[in-house]
A and B are shown apart, each in its own frame.
Chain A
Amino acid sequence: MFDLKNPSRRKFLTMAGTAAGASLLGNTGLVVPSAYGAGALGAVKEEDAVIAFGHVGPISDEGWTSTHHDGLVAVKAAFPKAKYLEIETIPYSADATRTFRQFVAENATLIFSSSEYGDLLAEVSNRAPKVAFMECNGHRVADNFSWYYVKHWMPTYVIGVAAGLMSKTGKLGYVASFPVPSVFTSVNAFQMGAKSVNPKATTQVISINSWFDPQGASQAGTALLDNGADFLFGIMDEAAYLQVAEKRGIPAAMWNTDVRRYGPKSYVTSCVVDWRKFYVEQTRKRLAGTWTGNEQILLPLGEGVDRDAWGESVPENVRQTADAVRTKMLKDGFNPFAGEIKDSAGKVKIAAGEKMDDMALYNWNWAVEGVTGLAT
């Protein structure tokens, strides 16, 4: 580790900041490449630390944003003397830049962004080289910037297996947000899991252009069921389509949290996420001065992401078959994303014998055979 009192290191940080500013002024639009490798930002006393959380949705969504808020609560319990800042429902506009800049102005030492704000966040972090940034589902790193996410495709494949077994028609419905990698990966993992046990399985996707739009999600769920789907899955921040499924007596799997109370009969399981341990760990590192940028962190199955306890109406044989796949993943490192995989146009994209690695899965941007409604 670097001696943090070493003036040359300090000088470097100042220079990096100037370079970042210069690059913005020069309108290159490029991220400043880091001259150094990973470097720590220096220890912070707990009472001096300011930990900031910027959320994409309301913390009362009982889904995505509430899982991150739970993370904040856990960090607060572990480090009660630090100061905490939290802003919810940050739009994907220049307001995001203003919001994160406000965190910097409030002397934040570590900033978690629970969604990808891309350039809007980079604009802030490039000019705040002494502040640590962590972007959930991000795609860039820097000396003061790391991203993190979960390997949601693993539990999603397991959920797909259950869906394939529970669907009579093989027609599965998926409520999506945008045609972006997290959605492609989720839809594909779901479809591949289902197809592994049900050769007729197909997945119809409807995108509603939002991560939090309960009304839009309900409408999409209804449309999918009207079109013949007899199993619903999706990637919404909240649980609206579960209520649609419950009313129609169709099984549905969810994301983020255990929301079975909104549809106890329909609830199959959920791709549950839990950031508490991870956030506490990152905050501890930041306080100790061992936090580093340039990290790309994917939390594995069982450590931050998993399937939830099965719902009451899931038959025993379905639980066993799906859980056998999960156990194989955990014990034997089973990777179901192996060739041959064709895209939705029938073209072979992953040849037989090839396997998709984590980064390929994280950045997946085409739909597999059997998926309709997701623009490739």
Chain B
Amino acid sequence: MAFRLQRLPSVRPEIAVAAHAVAIGLAFVVGGIAVTISGHNAFTLAAKVLTASFGSEFGLEDFGLLFGPLMLTGLAAAVTLRIGLWNIGAEGQFYIGAVFATGVGLFFSGPPWLMLTAMFLAGGIGGALWILVPTLARAYANVNEIITTLLLNFVAVLVVNYLSTGLWRDRKQSVLGATARIPYEVPNLSGSLHAGILVAVAAVVLMALLIRYTRWGYEVRISGANIFAAHYAGIPVRSRLISVMLISGAIAGIAGMLEVAGTVHRLQGGISNNFGYLGIIVAVLAGGSPIGVVFSGFVMAVILNAGIILQAQGILLNDVLAMTGLILFFTAIGEQVAHYRIVATHVVAQEA
């Protein structure tokens, strides 16, 4: 009797979830070994991270402030995965959403609820506009959206730098170009934790319901699973593709609006905190599932929050970033491994 590997065309959900869990676990083991080799006690540090993140008000607030934007940018990347596309540009859409929201907040005035609603819409519109050209290029000219969305990230950073150090600059800050403080702020839930996290949860639930239970969602899933079958079934694939990408951009833009109106309060370079890029990891870990984004966003927020706690213990930032890379690496392997199963083969003796 011998064994061989058999590749399966699709993976059962429970196997996929298990593969991700094992991958994350293995990444922590490798990270732990590296930390131990560098002369720290991995268990003490892990305990420190957990107590500092979840055992204090500050820690919980910090965790929440990471969790919210990660869910949103993760969701932005996840929805495009459902139709088989990659939005690598959540970073840029995040920035442009922040730009639009800042523009509304600085140059218009009104009652706070109205202004925050206007900023929210402006953020969504800004994000959607930033992905519009890649979307149309993909839909009508079949231009690879990975490249176009990625490259627009760099343009978005330049737009933010131009505005925050030029046109919209506040002349009182000294070290960095930044706009004046936006007078409208997302209300706080507790301490510094603002209501943006509720928006993120609502967005995740809404997208999950749309994709699972509506005709639109069904057509998106079919288009993502097999584009030819979708065409054959008469699904307007192009129109679904356009709507999914614009929604993705809008979600990332709203994340930018919430960051600027809830956390930073000024438009300046660097506010994205790489949430756009981290969102891709979150979406991949979630396997493109909106609800999965809640879990993978949670893991990512713990890791990022741990990064700051560990730096105070003398561990370098790069080591923490390496950890996120390890997780993605193991997940990619795990995803492939989950496609295989071991089958026993009976060797039939050849007759002479």
Contact = CB atoms under 8 A, between A and B. Distances in A.
Interface stretch (A38-46, A98-106, A187-195, A326-334): A98-106
B172 A139 contact: yes
Given A85-B312, A93-B271, A102-B312, A178 B58 contact: no
B169 interface: yes
B12 interface: no
Interface in B158-192: 161, 165-166, 169, 171-178, 181, 183, 185, 187-188, 191-192
Contacts of B169: 179, 375
Contacts of B183: 29
A182 B191 contact: no
A123 interface: yes
A94 B65 contact: yes
Interface in A182-223: 182, 207, 209, 211
- What is the size category of the interface that chain A forms with chain B? 35 or more
B270 interface: yes
Interface stretch (A70-78, A111-119, A159-167, A311-319): A111-119
B187 A116 contact: no
Contacts of B58: 101-102, 104-105
B210 to A, nearest CB: 30
B266 interface: yes
Interface string B99-124: 00000000000001000000000000
A92 interface: yes
Interface string B270-296: 111100000000000000000000000
B265 A119 contact: yes
B52 interface: yes
B173 A118 contact: yes
A176 to B, nearest CB: 10
B145 interface: no
Interface stretch (B1-9, B83-91, B303-311): B303-311
A35 interface: no
B191 A180 contact: no
A209 B169 CA distance: 13
Contact of B308 (A98, A127, A209): A98
Interface in B52-67: 52, 56, 58-59, 62, 65-66
Given A29-B181, A178-B175, A179-B165, A24 B308 contact: no
Interface centre among B181, B191, B311 (most CB of A within 10 A): B311
B269 interface: yes
A94 B173 contact: no
A334 to B, nearest CB: 25
Contacts of A101: 58, 62
Contact of B176 (A99, A105, A180): A180
A209 B165 contact: yes
B139 to A, nearest CB: 34
Contacts of A98: 62, 65-66, 305, 308
A146 interface: no
Given A94-B273, A105-B58, A139 B174 contact: yes
Interface string A125-159: 00100000000011100000000000000000000
A91 B174 contact: no
Interface residues of B, number: 45
Contact of A102 (B174, B181, B263, B309): B309
B11 interface: no
Contacts of B56: 105
B264 interface: yes
B337 interface: no
Contact of A178 (B176, B185, B264, B273): B176
A252 to B, nearest CB: 23
A179 B188 contact: no
A86 B273 CA distance: 20
A19 interface: no
Nearest to A85: B312
Contacts of A117: 175
A138 B173 CA distance: 8
B317 A89 contact: yes
A88 B307 CA distance: 12
Contacts of A363: 172
B185 A29 contact: yes
Interface string B245-280: 000000000000001000111101111110000000
A281 interface: no
Contacts of B191: 21, 24, 127
A215 to B, nearest CB: 15
Contacts of B181: 29, 119
Given A116-B175, A137-B174, 9 more contacts: A93-B270, A97-B62, A98-B65, A98-B308, A102-B62, A118-B176, A178-B177, A181-B174, A211-B175
18 contacts: A88-B317, A89-B317, A92-B176, A92-B271, A94-B65, A94-B263, A97-B192, A99-B311, A102-B62, A104-B58, A116-B174, A117-B175, A119-B265, A139-B174, A180-B173, A182-B174, A182-B175, A209-B269
